[in-house]
Amino acid sequence: MAKVAFVFPGQGSQAVGMGKDLYEQFPEARAVFDAVDDALGEKLSTTCFTGPEDALKLTANTQPAILTVSAAVHAVFQKRGPAPAFVAGHSLGEYSALVAAGAMELQDAARAVRARGTFMQDAVPAGVGAMAAILGLAPDAVKAACDAAAEGQIVSPANYNSPEQTVIAGHAAAVERAGVKCKEAGAKRVMPLPVSAPFHCALMDPVKPKLAEVLAGVRLQAPRVPVVSNVEAQPYSDVGRVVPLLLAQVSAPVRWIECVEALKANGVTHVVELGPGKVLGGLIKRITRDIESFNVENAASLEKVLAALGAA
């Protein structure tokens, strides 16, 4: 018997045109885009569908845009596909997961991630922080390289994405030093990331009190489906945990490897990535062979995945 989890992507999966065919073909998707446009008082849908790319890449737009597309895909899929036993999201995707689990209203989540994106953008002046992906080095070795490279500055693992890929974040110079140390330790590649801020490290601490004010105004309910949090990498269903975990997440690493392992330990056999891109499915394949992953981001992939899961 297939046991399904839904997972939701984070920043970096955006692309101009995302969600457009779902908007045109499915009233459920249209309702999601219209609700977010209404909540934000602007046509974010137009930015998703036609860009320009520079506008879509601004963190304050990217975060609500990915959330909206993910919620639209979920709205369409939930009417036609199997129900999930668990939900999880990568960074920003955790908000999409909470919407899917009924813990947070869509419009509240859109306003919250617009604020989150704005606060993150503003927390560190341009050029002060940086992020880099370290490929082909064990996570423990990456952490050790960061510790050795800090020299009084901040640099630490931000995303434990797969056994071969860890993203680091912090002060630009410290990230550069850590990259050199990772190379010396045997990393295959060090790729600087084109991001506007150093997410998921201590430089994001100033975001927390501001985000706490925003989240205090959000109506929350107990998740209908357990949510695997980025911070603890364990499923939870207690409504009282939602805000503390979302606040901690701002400066804590995304423990994606352990999130996937938690799904596996709880008997999940199939994961459906709902939203733009196939990033999470690719990471899941590198973490475990025991979970089959699919992605739904448009009408064509929807049909394909429904057929595959019907067979499963």
State the average pLDDT over residues 45-56: 96
Segment 60-77, tens digit of pLDDT: 999 999 999 999 999 999
Residue 312 pLDDT grade (very low, low, confident, very high; cuts 50, 70, 90): low
Positions marked active-site = 91, 200
Tokens of 179: 């990259």
pTM score, whole prediction: 0.97
Domains of the chain: residue spans and CATH:
4-123+203-309 (3.40.366.10), 129-195 (3.30.70.250)
Phi and psi torsions of 217, nearest 5°? -95, 5
Segment 123-182, tens digit of pLDDT: 999 899 999 999 999 999 999 999 999 999 999 999 999 999 999 999 999 999 999 999
Whether 307 shows a pLDDT value over 90: the answer reads yes
H helix intervals, the chain: 20-25, 27-40, 44-50, 53-57, 59-78, 93-100, 106-123, 139-149, 172-184, 207-216, 242-249, 256-265, 279-287, 299-311
Residue 56 pLDDT grade (very low, low, confident, very high; cuts 50, 70, 90): very high
Tokens of 164: 């071969």
- Non-local CB neighbours of 246 within 8 Å, separated by 6+ positions: 94, 95, 211, 215
Residue 218: per-residue pLDDT? 97
| Helix axes 59-78 and 106-123, enclosed angle (nearest 10) | 150
Alpha carbon distance 3, 292 (integer Å):
11
Whether 311 shows a pLDDT value over 80: the answer reads no
Cis peptide before 244 (omega within 30 of 0): no
- Non-local CB neighbours of 154 within 8 Å, separated by 6+ positions: 170, 171, 174, 198, 201, 202, 203
Residue 216, exposed/middle/buried by CB under 10 A (0-12, 13-18, 19+)? exposed
Segment 231-257, tens digit of pLDDT: 999 999 999 999 999 999 999 999 999
